[in-house]
Structure 1
Amino acid sequence: MNARPRSTAKAPVPSSRRGVLFAGAALASGAALTLAGCGSDKKSDKQDSAKDTTSAAAGAFPVTVAGQPGSLTVKSAPKRVAAYGNGRDTDLALALGAPLVLASRNSSFADGRSPWARPGSDVTLADSTDGLPLEKIAAARPDLILAADDYALQDDFAKLKAIAPTLGVKSGIGKDTWDVMAQRAGEALGQRAKADQLVAQVKAKIAQVRTEHPELAGKTFTFGPVTAGQVYTISSPADASAIFFSQLGMTLAPQVTKLPASSTPGRAQISSERLDLLEADVLILTYPNPKDQAAFEKGALFRNLKAVKRGSYIALDFKTAIAVAFPSVLSIPYGLDSAVPQLVKAVAAA
């Protein structure tokens, strides 16, 4: 699973521009998935929401959106939008009905498109594996660039802004919550009211799933990627993936929260001799390919885990793992629909 983020904590940068999401254990950092939008000033957010929704409803331009590394001003309704950064910029452009002309190729998927957000064939896909594809972005002649999901934004912003007004981040690279990302994209596109509606719908779906499955409440879980024999586990309750499961009432197993962090904040590496640290009511692992999965699942230490023996182990497919690790208004419903039936089955065996 190709992960996009380059850590804001000066972690080693993988060879590709986005890094390897789970192969390098680089999950989205911070509370990227939250019902309440924690980490933001709720009072000021509500004030901004009321003001911006009124402006967007009136179709008022120019619109100025404050942010980092710099603010942007959109003088008129965008007619050609480039969704650079990673998959969530594309998710938001499609969800908000933007006139998308260029999207960043999502290298987590063979055809560069996620199953929940698939730009049409008329949209140019820009591959950022070998660096910022400035020529391709410029050739698309965008009048707005969405780049809030670009983990190299500090380096890219000035170059992108020279092509067109560019939407950056609010709180910091990799720190904005999924709902804040949606709202800011909505502001830039003059679609704040629609963004608020989408956010409300997703939050309602999360709440509905939790209500329908009270059996998940209080169950512990561990979750992480396995690649080439290396095992990682989410160790921070503030990680986007951990929050995804916790919003369903589940709790990150306490023993993993005490583990020392790896080079990527929020996750720890587990030695092959200490797989017992992964024990929980539900054990969730994901693999970048079937070969890695088959090799790992043959191991005696893995097969002897209590969760595995009783049937409370989930091999979460890579697509779903991406959906929950990089949450957006489009990926979260996909993740819920895919993961919840598996969680229910695993909990029944616990």
Structure 2
Amino acid sequence: MSRLKSGLAMLVIAVVAVVGVGCSSPDEGQNSAPVQINLPDGRSVTVNGTPKRIVTLGGQWTDVALSFGVTPVGYYDGIKLQSGTTPPWFGDKLNDVPLLNPNEEIVAEVAKLKPDLILAPGFASMAGGFEALAKLAPTIDKISGEQIDPWQDMVTLMGTILHQPDKAKEIINGVDEKISSIKEEYPGLEGKTYAFAYIYGSDQISVLGDESDGAAKLFSSLGLKIAPRLVRESTKTGQPRIQISAENLPWLNADLLVIAASTPQLQKRFEGLPGYKNLSSSKKGANSMLSTVQITGLNEPSPNSIPFAFDQMKPALAAASQK
């Protein structure tokens, strides 16, 4: 049996393949060996054999599955439901796959798909629903104590469940190489500051202030650091993302500004605010205004969303890297 144990910070993997006495070869035995996952909530989930009918109730897991060449039999994606737009990093691989809506009879809909594995981050709080899902097939909620599960841990876990650990390493290395190539292309980013924000109301802006956040780790991999004022406010409030009003616009002063608005009207209003043109990033041409779909690729990073999002940001990254 392969055993996986989730720690508070990251998924810790200790693979102990035990092939029982029988007529199967070692390779066959390993490919069918059960995998036990010990989750942060105290539950232990065992996956027998290699799953063939996987349901992914979260964009990160959907992308991880697709990275392994596995098309889920059903999936939930919040951005797709809200905007009607499929994240572009999925390509056309989900065109014929049912999109599940958690506001409807999701347990019944999942049951129709006859899954042998359900990946459902964040669904543990669904009253009665999570237990019902768990009766259909092995069901995995969050695999870490972090707000957003680290994508590398998700890939590693999927590789273990599918008995493809080498493929998992290949996927992770591929993303790391992409990040390294961007860092090499823009060495001037080292030590520069950034602000990462989302405008969701006429006077409501959510801003990242915690360096341990999943999105922050991506920026850190490029040598960037959160603007000090935002870190101080996050530390003071104890919140990884702080809420500010338009009058606090100067708090976003940094070498790079990466931001999205929930509507085009809010974006236009934001760009017309007094002081917007005085931001360091505005003067350098280092503002990256992303769509809600695009910024999700950073907020919920996954193997294909990371390269996509960074490619959208390249003009701003180039400007920010200048002295």
The TM-score bracket by the shorter chain reads 0.7 to 0.9
Asked if structure 2 preserves the Cα contact closer than 8 Å seen for 1:100 and 1:123, the reply is: yes
2:124: which partner in 1?
Answer: 153
Matched letter for residue 272 of structure 1 = A
Secondary structure at 1:233 match in 2: strand
Give a deviation string over 1:22-74, Cα, whole Å, max 9, x none: xxxxxxxxxxxxxxx99348xx64xx26869x989941332222224422222
Question: What is the identity, as a one-letter code, of the residue corresponding to 2:154?
Answer: M
**2:174 maps to amino acid:** Q
Q: Greater shift after overlay, 297-306 or 217-226?
A: 297-306
Note the 1:178-327 alignment, pairs <5 A.
178-229=151-202, 230-260=204-234, 265-327=239-301
AA aligned to 1:238 is: S
Paired amino acid for 2:319: K
Gaps of 5+ in 2: 1-6, 19-25
* Contact 2:192 2:225 (8 Å CA) reproduced: yes
- Find the aligned partners of 2:191 and 2:140 in 1 and give their Cα distance: 39
The amino acid across from 2:9 in the alignment is G
Which residue of structure 2 lines up, in the alignment, with residue 136 of structure 1?
Answer: 109
Letter in 2 for 1:286: A
Name the CA distance, whole Å, in 2 between partners of 1:94 and 1:276: 41
Aligned partners of 1:106 and 1:113 also within 8 Å: no
What code does the residue aligned with 1:140 have?
A: L
Whole-Å separation in 2 of the counterparts to 1:306 and 1:210:
21
C-alpha distance after superposition, 1:108-151 (max 9, x if no partner): 563352111244333111012x266111101111111122xx22
Alpha-carbon deviation of 1:154? 4.2
- Which structure is higher in helix share? 2
The corresponding residue for 2:74 is 102
Q: 1:251 to 1:68 in 2, by over 3 A?
A: closer
Q: Would the alpha carbon gap of residues 227 and 219 (structure 1) be closer, same or farther in structure 2, given more than 3 Å must change? A: same
Choose from 27, 38, 62 the match for 2:34: 62
Counterpart CA distance in 1 for 2:164 and 2:303 is 14
Change (3 A) 1:320 1:121: closer
Q: Distance in 2 between matches of 1:237 and 1:83?
A: 28
1:298 maps to a residue whose letter is: G
Aligned to 1:14: none
Instruction: Name the aligned partner's letter for residue 277 of structure 2.
Output: R
**1:198 touches 1:329 (CA, 8 Å); kept in 2?**
yes
Partner SS for 1:59? helix
User: If the length of structure 1 is used for normalisation, what is the TM-score?
Assistant: 0.77
Aligned counterpart, 2:9: 39
Rate the CA distance shift 1:299–1:201 in 2: closer, same or farther, 3 A: same
- CA separation in 1, counterparts of 2:28 and 2:101? 32
Report the 3-state secondary structure (helix = DSSP H, G, I; strand = E; otherwise coil) of the residue aligned with 1:226: strand
Q: 1:120 aligns with which of 94, 97, 108?
A: 94
Size of the alignment, in residue pairs? Answer: 304
Per-residue CA deviations over 1:189-222 (Å, capped at 9, x if unaligned) read 2333212221121112212221222011111111
Larger Cα Rg: Structure 1 or Structure 2?
2
Deviation at 1:253, TM superposition (A): 0.9
The Cα shift of 1:249 comes to 0.8
How far apart are the structure 2 equivalents of 1:215 and 1:103? Answer: 40
**Structure 1 residues 257 and 105 mapped into 2: Cα distance closer, same or farther (>3 Å)?**
closer
- Which segment drifts farther, 60-69 or 266-275? 60-69
Structure 2 vs 1, CA of residues 110 and 317 (structure 1 numbering), >3 Å: closer, same or farther?
closer
Shift of 1:262: 9.8
Q: From 36, 48, 62, give the equivalent of 1:90.
A: 62
Question: What is the CA distance between 1:256 and its match in structure 2?
Answer: 1.1
Identity of aligned residues (%): 30
Cα separation, partners in 2 of 1:98 and 1:38, compared to 1, 3 Å: same
Q: Which moved more, 1:270-279 or 1:138-147?
A: 270-279
Q: Say whether the 8 Å CA contact 2:286–2:316 is kept in structure 1.
A: no
User: Which sits farther off after the overlay, 250-259 or 336-345?
Assistant: 336-345
- Out of 167-176 and 99-108, give the one that drifted further: 167-176
Distance 1:269 1:188, change over 3 A: same
**Given that residues 260 and 289 in structure 2 are in contact (C-alpha distance below 8 angstroms), is that contact kept between their aligned partners in structure 1?**
yes
Choose 258-267 or 282-291, whichever is displaced more. Answer: 258-267
Partner residue in 1 for 2:22 = none
Give, in whole Å, the separation in 2 of the partners of 1:212 and 1:74.
42
Task: Please report how far the alpha carbon of residue 104 of structure 1 lies from its aligned counterpart in structure 2 after TM superposition.
Answer: 0.8
Decide whether aligned partners of structure 1 residues 264 and 287 sit closer, same or farther in structure 2, where only a CA change above 3 A counts.
farther
Q: 1:275 deviation in Å?
A: 1.3
**Alpha-carbon distance in 2 for matches of 1:168, 1:248:** 30
